[in-house]
Structure 1
């Protein structure tokens, strides 16, 4: 017996936009109003302001109706393969507008209100043709935006993977040497250091890149990192904390640790007398603000290339949108990194 032919894998589904969001409703309302306005201003049109107002009202009602229908049917259409989700959306647009135009024309002709053109068939036909053309253009725009978001997400995930797969070799070697030195003189401290290292590596090498951590978990990870560095720097490393932010705020993994690592590497380590790192977090209008600052050294031990701070900026922008920000500046002899994270209600509207 011949073995069955291998099944051809189904092509991935093209991602649809979030039709339940206000930007999509606004786009439909805007396109409908602009179309009616252009048709009213076109040469040869003899419609008055009353006809224009009725047409705008009709397109606005259709926009709301289509948004509700697309919002409810999006999960079903998203399960279709390849570009069929967009074909299903286009068919839904055309058929809904055609059925609405036919219903409006039938009601208007029976009541004799004169709200629709005399030619019932022509009104339905023109409405469906206009919707088909405009819908194709609008869906093309949504498709390009969706593909761009997929590429941005892939690039961001690659950067997250690069960051999580990297822990500086000298940090690992110094930590292991500290453990080796502590095993005989302070076994309990050595055990705590190994546990802290294990947690850091679990976060850095974790495979679930899409899962988010929380602000409380990230602060706990920072504390483990500071405990390890305290073995190496001793009294030269001092930490001040003034944190009053919700611990359950979602954050990407390892977002704060690179900033604290930079503060130690470029601010504390080059100074013979050491210094104080300040960790702050406060609620501000529209979100929370996190501040990490360290003393400025005259001559940093090892010049940095800025990859860590740039990576944090890009990850914050990807997860929280353009309203989020990461600022770095020198002020009063200290290097200050200020991170603003908007609340969920003010973050990116296109989160999926």
Structure 2
């Protein structure tokens, strides 16, 4: 009896990511491997130990490394479409084909010109070159493959950490905001409606899909404004805000990165004081990136002690998104608590620093 169950669709194997052949580190690695190959062939038994032969060999391998880098850089999109580890097999085949062809051409030209730079046997020169290239090329590609797999795992861990941090928002903020909405429904329905809309935007940023987890600095400032509008309904004239912002709006950054800093400024600087105070928001371009500051007055009365999760969350997310060049500094200065972020404009690809 024939099996009536439908055939299950097969999922193609994911393609192993290739290194960036268009980058200088990859070119440098090829130059080093080529130089090592030339030195090994020069020191091999029966080889020509003249310094001129070594110089020519190093120049040949350097030229070949540059040529290979250009070819692999252009061919990478095509090879990356292959499943599994076949992209690396394709790179190895391209490497061997080009080395074999160029070494044969070089040997043929040398023999016809009578320069004496290659061994008398052209077949032996091509064979030895291919053997050395095949072994060292395989070792180099293995290294690139292991590094690529390690980067994928690190990236997966980083994305999981960002997702976990992205999904957290303080419950007391939700409760306070909903209480403010309830109080405004009868007094000022329009303000209550605006508050609900602002809450929707904030929670869409905090709990939305993975695609919405990445925003821009301009969007982040608008989310901060929406949050401050909600808090202004609760605190009234006690909350004053000063802005001095001149930053590039298109700078990529995680959503709700600045909101925890503003929330901490209100919770620890404005809320404990009966007179309230001023929260200052600053942003300016500096050499190599953007500096963002959030500062609040130090309250006379002790604030409700926090867990420090907000600042730790910001530090971790900044590190994951922008790398080690980014900094988050928090300090008390002139009666105010100041948090300063330095965000490099050329960031790592996080979730997507690759």
TM-score scaled by length of structure 2: 0.89
CA contact (8 A) 1:164 1:206 kept: no
RMSD: 2.5
Deviation at 1:179, TM superposition (A): 0.6
TM-score scaled by length of structure 1: 0.90
Secondary structure of 1:278 counterpart: strand
CA contact (8 A) 1:153 1:318 kept: no
Deviation at 1:40, TM superposition (A): 4.6
Unaligned runs of 5+ in 1: none
Counterpart for residue 192 of structure 1? 194
State whether structure 2 residue 317 is matched by structure 1 residue 315: yes
Counterpart for residue 54 of structure 1? 56
Distance 1:114 1:249, change over 3 A: same
CA contact (8 A) 2:205 2:213 kept: no
Unaligned runs of 5+ in 2: none
Counterpart for residue 183 of structure 2? 181
Deviation at 1:182, TM superposition (A): 0.8
CA contact (8 A) 2:239 2:276 kept: yes
CA contact (8 A) 2:37 2:133 kept: no
Distance in structure 2 (CA, Å) of the matches to 1:5 and 1:101: 50
Deviation at 1:281, TM superposition (A): 1.0
Distance in structure 2 (CA, Å) of the matches to 1:123 and 1:299: 84
Counterpart for residue 215 of structure 1? 217
User: Per-residue CA shift, 1:252-287, capped at 9, x if unaligned?
Assistant: 222222222222233333334333222111111122
Distance in structure 2 (CA, Å) of the matches to 1:238 and 1:42: 78
Q: How does 1:135-284 map to 2 (within 5 A)?
A: 135-209=137-211, 212-284=214-286
Distance in structure 2 (CA, Å) of the matches to 1:299 and 1:66: 68
Distance 1:43 1:111, change over 3 A: closer
State whether structure 2 residue 22 is matched by structure 1 residue 9: no
Distance in structure 2 (CA, Å) of the matches to 1:12 and 1:179: 49
CA contact (8 A) 1:278 1:292 kept: yes
Distance in structure 1 (CA, Å) of the matches to 2:62 and 2:93: 19
Count of aligned residue pairs for this structure pair: 351
User: Per-residue CA shift, 1:135-157, capped at 9, x if unaligned?
Assistant: 22222222222222222222222
Displaced runs of 4 or more, over 4 A: 37-46, 297-300, 346-352
Distance 1:81 1:161, change over 3 A: same
CA contact (8 A) 1:277 1:295 kept: yes
CA contact (8 A) 1:196 1:228 kept: yes
CA contact (8 A) 1:294 1:336 kept: yes
User: Per-residue CA shift, 1:101-156, capped at 9, x if unaligned?
Assistant: 11211121122222222221222122222222222222222222222222222222
Counterpart for residue 101 of structure 2? 99
CA contact (8 A) 1:270 1:301 kept: yes
CA contact (8 A) 2:118 2:125 kept: yes
CA contact (8 A) 2:205 2:212 kept: no
Moved more, 183-192 or 46-55: 46-55
